[in-house]
Structure formats: C-alpha cells, structure tokens
A and B are shown apart, each in its own frame.
Chain A
Amino acid sequence: MSDNQPADSSRRFWLKATCVAGGVAGVATAVPFVSTFQPSERAKAAGAPVEVDIGDIRPGEKKVAEWRGKPVWILRRTPEMLASLKVTEAQVLDPNSEEHYALATPDYARNDIRARKDHQEYLVVVGICSHLGCSPSDKLAAGAQPSLPDDWSGGFLCPCHGSTFDLAGRVYQNKPANRNLDVPPYMFLTDTRIIIGKDEKGEA
C-alpha cells in the first residue's frame, strides 16, 4: 500500500475491533493468574475455634495459644496489674476501644479492662501488634528498664518499631501502632477452660 493513500476506513475499524477483543481476552486471561494468589480453600478452612486450659496459669503469668496461626495471649492479671490500668488510662490512645478494629472488639471487652467483667483478671488478646504484625514481648514488670520509659507500669513492648501496650493491650500515645491489641471473641466454658474464636454470638 502506498504511503500517500488514505487508509481504508473499514480496515481501520476491524483493526480497532480486533485490538479491543484481544485486549479483553488478555485481561480475562489475567484473572485466573491473579486469583491464584488468594488464600486456597485449605487456608480458608483453617481457623476453627480453639479450647485452652487456663487452670495452670498463676497470677501474673501468661499463656500463649495458637488461633488462626496467630498467637493469642491469656494473661492472668494480679490486682496490682489491674490497678495499673487506672494510671495508664490517661496515657493510652484509645482507653475504651472505641475506634474501628479489623477484628471487631466484642462488647464485653469494650471497657477499661478490655476483658469480661466476670473474669476481669483474664486478659485475652491476639498478640500481634496493630502496626506491622510483630508479636510484642512481655515487659510485665513495672519500673525503668531498657527501651522503656522510667515510669513504666508494666505491659508489652513491640521489638520491631517500639510500640508499647499496657496490661490491657492498649497502645500508648505517640507510638507507631494506632490500635489496641485485638480482643478475639472468647468465652469461658468453665472457670478453668476458655474457647477462643467463639462466644455467645457464635464463631468469629
């Protein structure tokens, strides 16, 4: 075809139509490839509630259970530990867990101790920092120590970016993390046995 002649407009139409059809097919082909990245059926199926025996946790001690591949802490707080929450109340970002949480805070934990009032010494939280997903370390003892303020009231320190949490899993102000530790749904089967991932309202 000579360069000087105008292009055949009907050919132009078919050229465009073919490109559009090919483009649509190309995008459609990408769908299955992109979809393979989603969690598999097996990954989705994992995540059933877990039962934990808490009879052997002494006051001031913590037990770690695994739920949905994440650590869930069960901390049995002493009266002094519970008292410290009154002090930290003014220093934490969201004392009553009123913000929006990815794992919605159950109603029974939306209070100043972030636990069921009938078993207030037991704190049950997902031990994953709301910043970037590290598991904070125990700094349960009060007092000055490395990486912590001198008036430390006891709690948890995230080793990754230095966020600190009090003994109710509430994040301190001016830290990289901006949400408290998640409270999973949980309920007491007996006084020494809890189930995590399930409460009166059903499974999470």
Chain B
Amino acid sequence: MAMKETEATGIIGWVDQRFPLLSLWKEHLSEYYAPKNFNFWYFFGSLALLVLVIQLVTGIFLVMHYKPDASLNAAELPGAFFSVEGYIMREVPWGDLIRNMHSTGASAFFIVVYLHMFRGLMYGSYRKPRELVWIFGCMIFLCLMAEAFFGYLLPWGQMSYWGAQVIVNLFSAIPLIGPDLSVWIRGDFVVGDATLNRFFAFHVIAIPLVLLGLVAAHIMALHEVGSNNPDGVEIKDKKDANGKPLDGIPFHPYYTVHDLVGVVGFLFLFSAVVFFAPEMGGYFQEANNYIPADPLKTPSHIAPVWYFTPYYSILRATTSSFIPWLWTFFAIAAVRVYLSAHSNQATKRAVRGFVAVLFLAMGVPGIVLKMIGLKALAGFSIGGAAIFMGIDAKFWGVVLMGVSVLIFFGLPWLDQSPVKSIRYRPDWHKTVYGVFVAAFLILGYLGVKAPGVWGSLPYINLDTAQTVSQLCTLLYLGFFLLMPWWSKMGTFKPVPDRVTFKAH
C-alpha cells in the first residue's frame, strides 16, 4: 500500500505517515489562531495546566512513600498519618519539599482556576458558541473539588478526619436513602480504614483519569470554536485572503512565549510559598491536621481549606429560620425574571420549570391532594415532601451548597446581555459583578471563622456573622438567578468590529 505524501521528511516524515503528528501540532499550536489582544487574565488557563502537571508528578512520587492505613503502628500513631508527617516529611530525602509542593499545588490550583473562571465571567467566554467549553470547564471544577476533598483525608489528621466526616454526612441529609448512602460511601458506620483506602483509590487514579479526559475535551472544544478575547469580538468573522482571522495570531510561538512570562511569574510566587510558607499561616495546611485523627474528639475549631469556605458558609447559613426568606427570594426572582422575559419563550419555560420544581419540593401537590380529600395519594406525596418541606434545614443547606456550585453550568443561558464582554456593558454591571465578588469573598472569609465570630446584632438578637452570610448567600444566588433580568438592562456601548489592540 502506498504511503501518504507528507511535507516532512526524515524521522518526522516517517512518523507523520503513521500518526497525525504534524496536523495535531498545526491544529493546536502553530496554526491555532488566537486573538491578538489577550491580556494577563489569559495566563490562568495555561497556568492551570502547569499546576495539573505539578500535582501529577509530585503525586506520583508521594504515592511511592504513602500508606493508606488507619490502624495504629507501634508508636500508637495511625499508619497513614505517620507515613505523611513522620516518614515523608522527616525521613524521605527531600520528601518534605515534594509534599509541600503538592499541598501548595492544591491551593494554587484553586487560585488559578477561580481566576480563570472569573476571566470567563468578565469577558462572556461561556456565551454561544463556547457553551461546551464552559461546561467541560465546570466539570473540571467539580472534579477538582472531588480531588481536593478525597486527597485531604489522606494525611489522616484531625481536619482530614472531621472534614470527611462532615462532607460524607452531607449525603445522609438526602431523604429516605441518605443514611444508607453515607454508610455505603464510608464503607463503615464511621469514617475508618475502608473510607481511607477508597478515598486513596479515587484520589490517585479514578478522579485524575476523569480529570485528564475532561481537560482534553475542554481544550478540544476550545480549539473547535476558537478563543474568546477581552473585547468579546469573534475574530473568525473577519478573515484575510488565506482564510486566517485578521485579528488572530498563531498560538505558537506568540502565546507559548506570552504564557511563559506567566509561568515565570507564577513559579516565583509558588516557590516562595513552597520554600518559605508552605502552611501559609494555616490556610494551605491547617494546624489541626498535625494532630492524628481522633474519632472521639472534634477539634474546637473546624473549617475546610480556604477554597471550599464560600460554599461551606452557604451550608452554614441555611438554618430553619432562613428558609422562609429563601422561598420568598426564589418567588420574587421567578416573578422578576418571568416579567422581564417578554416574548422570550425559552426563559418563560425555564422559569415555569423552576417554579414547578420548587412546588414539588415544597410538597404543594401533597397539601392540595390532602385538602381535596385524597389522603392516600397525599400521603405518598407528603411522605416524600414532608421531609423536604421547610423543616429539614440540613437538607436545604446541602441542596443550596450544591446549587451554588452547579449554577455555574447555567451561565451560558442565564446571561442574556446583548454583548459578551464587560467592556461594552453598562458601567453599573461592573458594580453587580463587584457585589458578587464581594459576597463570594465574605462568604469565604466567614467560612474560615468560627460560628458567631462577629457577635450579635444590636436590638434584634441575631448572630451577625450568620446574618451576613445569609445576606451574601442571597446575593450570590441572586447574581445568577436574576441574571436573565439584569444582564440585559441598561445602555450598552457599541462593540467594535475588530479587537482593540495597541502594538507594544
């Protein structure tokens, strides 16, 4: 059989006749045209890839020395705890460096990914045709959270143990199947050796495999539709005679070099933390995690690592007295969005669906059936819904926390602004973004702190910190749920035909 003609000769040519080496290189690097007006916000995608590699490499080396074992050794220390704090940190040559790289890498991953997501938010990078890029990205975010959670149990310190205890118990809040489900996840009636070993399996192989697949899908989807840019202008709309975008430049060498600048800057900061402050004042490695896991005693102050704290705050804010406010807020949001939808049938359908789900969850059908005397049917509906309905704040806390993470998936459809980039939105939209970021940061801050950290409000006997986190929870959810309304309001600025770019 005749071999295909290739432009390359020699070894590359030999390979290219058997494997699409050159076409892959061209498609994704040398002839992938990216907009020429990227700014520093575009560092964070490549930095996320760098941190992923750091985590994979350091992780492989840590596995060589780590033992997932909850039983006590001769020194009365749990095997897993000793293998990290005793063996890797003190006895393995340079083991402490590898471990600190891995733990700092976890925090760095979230810093980089949060900034990467915020970039997408500012420039509308999730808007059509990039919905799938965004959705794969959200799935990567979920995987990262799972990876961080499973990994955090492995050192088997007090925070590891009680953090896992809390998160696994979240599942027990699911009505009917919850308690059995949490036993099934733990593999025991308490967090124990079985839990540690399965979390190890998830952390080192299952989730990383999924993560790598999703990263590939994220990049493939991106390269299919092309990168967005700070102006939110489609560069593929204006092409030269050769069909190349006028405002596009090849990713390699232009952006490989550009990203290298980001890499150097990042490595400065990353190394500084790894070498001089791997615990980062207790935020990257918590002090209580230097105490071996004790199933009989919860540390007096328990908080997740900083990157989970905004969501942890939302969980804590959901008390039974907050639920009526939440329902009221949902009702107002639904009416507001419905009224602003005008002739947009898709939005109206979505609102109707949202309201239907709320009604079901609140047990309204059950109550109605009971009122018209169909007790048997009502029992069936209420049986499920009574557990849902208002009473069980724990369940709603879990649901709300899940919704706050998953709501990112809806962004491509929630945002109805006529322009993509924040640059061409009304100026007050920046204030809305600012309020959202502030709410997120305040929730994050309060999640680190003990309950009641700000004392009580004067006159009304309410916990200040709790009330503030409840307010911030509504602001956080309102940013998304009301987006179909506010995102299209105001006077938008004209979007240029071509990207704005000043040559250096």
Using a CB–CB cutoff of 8 Å, the interface residues on chain A facing chain B are 37-40, 43, 47, 64, 66, 68-71, 102, 127, 131-137, 146-150, 158-162, 173-178
Contact = CB atoms under 8 A, between A and B. Distances in A.
Interface string B136-174: 000000000000000000000000001001111110100
Given A68-B189, A68-B190, A159 B301 contact: yes
Contact of A71 (B170, B192, B295): B295
Interface stretch (B40-48, B73-81, B177-185): B177-185
Given A37-B187, A69-B295, A134 B165 contact: yes
Given A71-B296, A134-B166, A176-B319, A39 B393 contact: no
Report which residue of A38, A132, A136 has the largest number of chain B beta carbons within 10 angstroms of its beta carbon: A132
B296 A64 contact: yes
A33 B295 CA distance: 28
A176 B393 contact: yes
Contact of B298 (A40, A159, A176, A177): A159
Central interface residue in A69, A70, A133, by most chain B CB within 10 Å:
A133
B300 interface: yes
10 contacts: A37-B187, A39-B194, A70-B295, A71-B296, A102-B179, A134-B302, A159-B300, A161-B315, A161-B451, A162-B452
Contacts of B296: 64, 66, 70-71, 127, 135
Interface string B289-302: 00000011111111
B430 to A, nearest CB: 34
B198 A146 contact: no
B397 to A, nearest CB: 7
B162 A176 contact: no
B320 interface: yes
A137 B194 contact: no
A64 B185 CA distance: 27
A8 B167 CA distance: 54
A67 B463 CA distance: 35
B321 A40 contact: no
Contacts of A177: 394
A55 to B, nearest CB: 21
B455 to A, nearest CB: 9
Interface in B287-325: 295-302, 315-316, 318-321
Contacts of A149: 456, 461
A148 B169 contact: no
Contacts of B438: none
Given A39-B187, A148-B452, A69 B298 contact: no
B188 A43 contact: yes
B391 interface: yes
Given A39-B187, A68-B190, A176 B169 contact: no
A176 B318 CA distance: 7
Contacts of B300: 137, 159
B190 A135 contact: no
Given A133-B169, A174-B319, A159 B299 contact: yes
Nearest to A161: B316
B298 A136 contact: yes
B53 interface: no
A135 B319 CA distance: 19
A43 B198 CA distance: 15
A147 B302 contact: no
Contacts of A176: 316, 318-319, 393-394, 397
A147 B198 CA distance: 36
A69 B187 contact: no
Given A71-B296, A137-B298, A178-B320, A37 B452 contact: no
Given A39-B187, A132-B166, 10 more contacts: A39-B194, A40-B194, A43-B189, A69-B188, A71-B297, A102-B179, A134-B166, A135-B296, A135-B298, A159-B298
Contacts of A40: 187-188, 194
Contacts of A134: 162, 165-166, 298, 302
Interface of B: 162, 165-170, 172, 179, 183-190, 192, 194, 198, 295-302, 315-316, 318-321, 391-394, 397, 450-453, 456, 461, 463, 466
The secondary-structure label for the interface of chain A is loop
Nearest to A134: B298
B302 A159 contact: yes
A133 B165 contact: yes
Given A159-B302, A176-B397, A69 B189 contact: yes
The 4 closest A-B pairs by CB, nearest first: A162-B451, A69-B190, A133-B169, A147-B452
A37 B162 contact: no
Contacts of B397: 176
A147 B456 CA distance: 9
A105 to B, nearest CB: 16
B166 A47 contact: no
Contacts of B183: 38-39
A59 to B, nearest CB: 22
Nearest to B317: A176
Contacts of A135: 296-298
A157 B466 CA distance: 15
B174 to A, nearest CB: 13
Contacts of A43: 187-189, 192, 194
Nearest to B299: A159
A132 B165 contact: yes
B192 A132 contact: no
A29 B301 CA distance: 44
A102 B387 CA distance: 14
B187 A38 contact: yes
B319 A175 contact: yes
A38 B184 contact: yes
Given A43-B189, A69-B189, A37 B295 contact: no
A134 B304 CA distance: 13
A162 B393 CA distance: 14
Question: Which of B166, B168, B170, B318: most chain A Cβ within 10 A?
Answer: B166
Contacts of B192: 43, 69
A40 B193 CA distance: 11
A161 B398 CA distance: 13
B165 A37 contact: no
A160 B189 contact: no
